Chain A
Amino acid sequence: MKINFVINKHNVTVDVDPSMRLLDVIRNELHLTGTKEGCGEGSCGACTVLVDNIPYDSCLTPIANVIGKEVMTIEGIRESKEYNVIADAFAKMGGSQCGFCTPGMIIATYALLQSNPHPTDEEIKVALSGNLCRCTGYQGIINSVRLASQKGEKND
């Protein structure tokens, strides 16, 4: 079935089975490999993408569910000015180690700061609670989000 949606601000049509996972469409059909698969069951958040600006697990999303919608992956996010603030903060605070959870973490952070530019620590934790990281112990990630929020403030 031909399925139309928007990926990283570009219209795209893919001819796939409607039950195909959005993750597989992104990685295998569109060859955008920044989105990762860590568990395949919605437990780790490594496959997080934005669908109409809301973070989704792309491993649980049948492609039928994004017909006509706007999907943003890390390849799209990284073109934004907000990404630079977030990536710079992650670099300064040690928010990324092996890098496998990182695109998902950055998208979750991006979505959080879009809707809530100055989150409390509790709000940061809730927003990132579905994104597992095995390397950083999360402290570097929390500090990264805190710093990105502060930096964003200066840019307001």
Chain B
Amino acid sequence: MLPEYKTSVTKVDNADKMAGKAIFTGDIQMDDLLTAVSVRSTIAKGKVLDIKLPELPKGYYFISAKDIVGENICNIIFDDWPIFVDKQVNYLGETIGLIVGEDKGKCLDLAAQVNITYEEETPVFEMVNSYIYKEFTKGNPELFKGAAEIYSESFATGYQEQAYLETQGMIVYFDNDVITVKASMQCPFYIHKAIMRVTNYPENKVRVIQPAVGGAFGGKEHYPSLMGGQLATALLKIRKPIRMIFDRPEDIAFTTKRHPSRTEISAYLDKHKNIIGLNIHVHIDGGAYKGCSGVVLSRALIACTNAYTFDNLIVNGDAYCTNKVPSAAFRGFGSPQSIFAIELFIHHLANHLGIDPLELRNKYMVKQGDITSTNGIFRDPIVLKELRDKAMKMSDYENKVKLYSRPGSNRGIGMSWFLHGCGFTGGGESDIIKAKLRIKKDKDGVVTFYTSQVDFGQGNRTTLKRIVVDTLGIPEDKVIYDAPDTSLTLSTGPTAASRTIIIVGGLAAKAAQHLKDIWVDGEEQEIIEPYVAPNFIHWDEATMQGDAYPGYAWGVNIVEVSFDPLTYQIKVDGCWSTYDVGHCIDERIVVGQADGGIVQALGYGYLENEVAIDGKFRQRNLSDYIIPTIEDVPELETGFVDNPFPYGAFGAKGAGELTFVGGAPAIALAIEMAIKHKVNKVPANPEYIMELLSHED
């Protein structure tokens, strides 16, 4: 049976993408385009003592820290990541310079001949040096002293590669005297800001334009800023168009990934087996530079009790400096790590206490009006019970649990439930991003609006346009909405944090409504609509107290697997999901997020293994960094419970990350049932499962 998407409209970019007409960064044709290749450090830590260049033929350049006109900084929240290594190398493959020239082969030859002398230092690859620490408490942790029992466990998650199909790539050129950038990106204004700082160029002399983008998932949130700083530096010196596109091995080896983590949880129990409270410590591996690791850590900590309410909490978190490629944004942004831990912990605790895990989970399930982990309030109606019941029914969960729990079944079913806070954490939207949306109308009644949101596949260009079309009540062809160009649009913020529809969509609806309210036929009119946070949101960043997010989306994933006891391989046999994303504006688009999110999460849970040995990733291409193929995926069934959100456009909340965060715990729980052994780590790949079971031989 094929689905019917009655609420959906044709995606605006479909026709070009299917016909191969969409122009991605690598497809851009330009005369006299030079190529840039990177000269990278061959050690993980140390000082650069000397750089000996080969003789550079005419038209070939070496660009390095010395060529930077402004500051040698790629600001990603912190000012710690240099555009080029100046003296200190902090990870293997850090960019020391670029070789730029006409012939790529010659550039690569020259890059290989750059002879760098180092004074090596001892690198650190383990999570021992904390560079960011955060903590908060809830309720009265003093009560922990009266516990009759303490139950503790530790959980680990690995690296994950975004594995967007289009690798990182960028073109820079001068358009008159304006530094112009086209790149595979998520956040045009991040690149814009990075280049201004590196070049000392003013705002109106840097222009970032988005071509088609072949997937991002967080991986193109920050990294393109670094490339932008490097290439803009080269452009100022060479003054010719330059392109840099990574081959897949370079992309895997040297661009940002999901933070590996370790989470320790202790439950303090009274003598009636009630949970007095939890003590949770989340450790994440931030890599060589802090970048956004502090914010990832915040989200991990805030989400550490997932969709459960515990009255008393001690929450601690550390991000660690290691001499590896910096970890950064990836769909879920910290919450997948801690939600994996708590979902498995509750099950293990229930088994330890001899209680049905579902019973224990139900007991602590979040309800409307409950206090969040950071002493905010879950204000809006919560339909998690309905989501749970619907998913359980779709999957025949209870019968399967009975059946598969029997010894020797080699099958398993696992359920996770979860929440995702939409938008930037805390006051981020109103204090840091300060989105402003420009909408204008010409004399003929044609409306154009501008956002800095990038559509890298999610469908937001279609949905944002629709929000404006439907609000104005005018025909679709009277509304123009193009991909971002920083010379035309004001910043409506990054395309990240599941904020596009809930925040920017809300802003677009509001702007369109204002335009409608003042609409005068035959006149040019323009409105600049600033984002105003709902006034009930109070957040204190220093103490991590208050309402962390304006709204929460909710979901349930159920995954069924079978296990081959000879090879320890797992096969995914079924997958059912239910979500509350507020109101689905376009069901086909939201289902697309749901399907893509859960499959990426299943990969995270059982397939995708990425291991660094001495700071070097072992997996080098898509033949050994294993993402799911079509044959690894069962029929995906998805349902929704409508629960319109009062502050988003047309009742919508975020959907991008929500669909990722529950997949790993659901499959890990299914694997536990199939192998009849506790799982404490993802990916739960066959090698790990063998290790678990070998202790029983």
Residues on A lying within 8 angstroms of B by beta carbon are 27, 31-44, 46, 73-75, 78, 83, 87, 90-94, 96-103, 106, 124-126, 128-143, 146-147, 150
Contact of B214 among A36, A43, A94 (CB under 8 A): A36
In the complex, which residues of chain A have a beta carbon less than 8 angstroms from the beta carbon of B5? 92, 94
From residue B136, how far is it (CB to closest CB) to chain A in Å? 35
From residue B47, how far is it (CB to closest CB) to chain A in Å? 34
Least CB separation from A87: chain B residue: B18
B597: CB under 8 A from chain A? yes
15 pairs from A and B in contact (CB 8 Å cutoff): A31-B29, A33-B27, A38-B622, A43-B621, A94-B589, A97-B459, A98-B215, A99-B457, A102-B18, A128-B630, A134-B164, A135-B596, A137-B598, A137-B600, A139-B636
Which 6 A-B residue pairs are closest in the complex by CB-CB distance?
A34-B20, A99-B17, A100-B214, A98-B457, A137-B595, A97-B457
The number of chain B residues with a CB under 8 A from chain A is 60
In the complex, which residues of chain B have a beta carbon less than 8 angstroms from the beta carbon of A133? 165, 630
Which residues of B (617-663) have their CB < 8 Å from a CB of A? 621-623, 627-631, 633, 635-636
User: CA of A93 to CA of B595 in the docked complex: distance in angstroms?
Assistant: 12
Least CB separation from B22: chain A residue: A99
Binary contact readout B547-578 vs A (1 if CB under 8 angstroms, 0 otherwise): 00000000000000000000000000000000
**Interface secondary structure of A, over-half rule:** loop
B176: CB under 8 A from chain A? no
User: CA of A138 to CA of B630 in the docked complex: distance in angstroms?
Assistant: 6
B247: CB under 8 A from chain A? yes
Given contacts A42-B623, A132-B622, 15 further A-B contacts (CB under 8 A): A33-B23, A33-B26, A36-B24, A41-B623, A94-B591, A96-B14, A99-B18, A100-B166, A103-B19, A134-B163, A134-B215, A135-B596, A139-B635, A140-B595, A142-B630
In the complex, which residues of chain B have a beta carbon less than 8 angstroms from the beta carbon of A142? 630
Least CB separation from B626: chain A residue: A43
**Interface secondary structure of B, over-half rule:** loop
In the complex, which residues of chain B have a beta carbon less than 8 angstroms from the beta carbon of A42? 623
Is B165 within 8 A of A38, CB to CB? Answer: yes
Residues on B lying within 8 angstroms of A by beta carbon are 2-3, 5, 10-11, 13-24, 26-27, 29, 162-167, 212-217, 247-248, 456-459, 588-589, 591-592, 594-600, 621-623, 627-631, 633, 635-636
User: CA of A132 to CA of B623 in the docked complex: distance in angstroms?
Assistant: 11
Contact of A74 among B20, B248, B623 (CB under 8 A): B20
Least CB separation from B458: chain A residue: A97
The number of residue pairs between A and B whose CB atoms lie closer than 8 Å in the complex comes to: 180
Least CB separation from A101: chain B residue: B165
Least CB separation from B624: chain A residue: A43
In the complex, which residues of chain B have a beta carbon less than 8 angstroms from the beta carbon of A96? 11, 14, 17-18
Q: Which of B18, B27, B213 has most A Cβ within 10 Å?
A: B18
Is A99 within 8 A of B631, CB to CB? Answer: no
Least CB separation from B638: chain A residue: A139
Given known contacts A41-B621, A100-B24, A134-B600, A125 and B18 CB-to-CB distance under 8 angstroms: no
From residue A141, how far is it (CB to closest CB) to chain B in Å? 7
Is B215 within 8 A of A91, CB to CB? Answer: no
Least CB separation from B3: chain A residue: A143
Least CB separation from A130: chain B residue: B629
Given known contacts A33-B20, A36-B214, A137 and B622 CB-to-CB distance under 8 angstroms: no
Is A137 within 8 A of B597, CB to CB? Answer: yes
From residue B215, how far is it (CB to closest CB) to chain A in Å? 4
In the complex, which residues of chain A have a beta carbon less than 8 angstroms from the beta carbon of B2? 93, 143, 146-147, 150
From residue A135, how far is it (CB to closest CB) to chain B in Å? 4
User: CA of A141 to CA of B165 in the docked complex: distance in angstroms?
Assistant: 16
Is B457 within 8 A of A135, CB to CB? Answer: yes
In the complex, which residues of chain A have a beta carbon less than 8 angstroms from the beta carbon of B23? 33
Is A73 within 8 A of B20, CB to CB? Answer: yes
User: CA of A126 to CA of B27 in the docked complex: distance in angstroms?
Assistant: 30
Is A87 within 8 A of B15, CB to CB? Answer: yes
In the complex, which residues of chain A have a beta carbon less than 8 angstroms from the beta carbon of B17? 96, 98-99, 102
User: CA of A142 to CA of B247 in the docked complex: distance in angstroms?
Assistant: 29
Is A94 within 8 A of B623, CB to CB? Answer: no
User: CA of A132 to CA of B591 in the docked complex: distance in angstroms?
Assistant: 19
Least CB separation from A143: chain B residue: B2
Is A106 within 8 A of B18, CB to CB? Answer: yes
Least CB separation from B588: chain A residue: A94
From residue B239, how far is it (CB to closest CB) to chain A in Å? 24
Given known contacts A38-B166, A98-B215, A99-B212, A137 and B20 CB-to-CB distance under 8 angstroms: no
From residue A99, how far is it (CB to closest CB) to chain B in Å? 3
User: CA of A131 to CA of B628 in the docked complex: distance in angstroms?
Assistant: 10
In the complex, which residues of chain A have a beta carbon less than 8 angstroms from the beta carbon of B248? 38-41
From residue B341, how far is it (CB to closest CB) to chain A in Å? 24
In the complex, which residues of chain A have a beta carbon less than 8 angstroms from the beta carbon of B10? 91
Is B19 within 8 A of A78, CB to CB? Answer: yes
User: CA of A37 to CA of B3 in the docked complex: distance in angstroms?
Assistant: 32
Contact of A137 among B459, B631, B633 (CB under 8 A): B633
Is A36 within 8 A of B631, CB to CB? Answer: no
User: CA of A41 to CA of B251 in the docked complex: distance in angstroms?
Assistant: 14
User: CA of A124 to CA of B630 in the docked complex: distance in angstroms?
Assistant: 9
Is A100 within 8 A of B165, CB to CB? Answer: yes
Least CB separation from B247: chain A residue: A40
In the complex, which residues of chain A have a beta carbon less than 8 angstroms from the beta carbon of B622? 38-39, 41, 43-44, 132
Q: Which of A91, A128, A139 has most B Cβ within 10 Å?
A: A139
Contact of B11 among A46, A91, A125, A134 (CB under 8 A): A91
Given known contacts A78-B20, A139-B636, A98 and B166 CB-to-CB distance under 8 angstroms: yes
User: CA of A137 to CA of B634 in the docked complex: distance in angstroms?
Assistant: 10
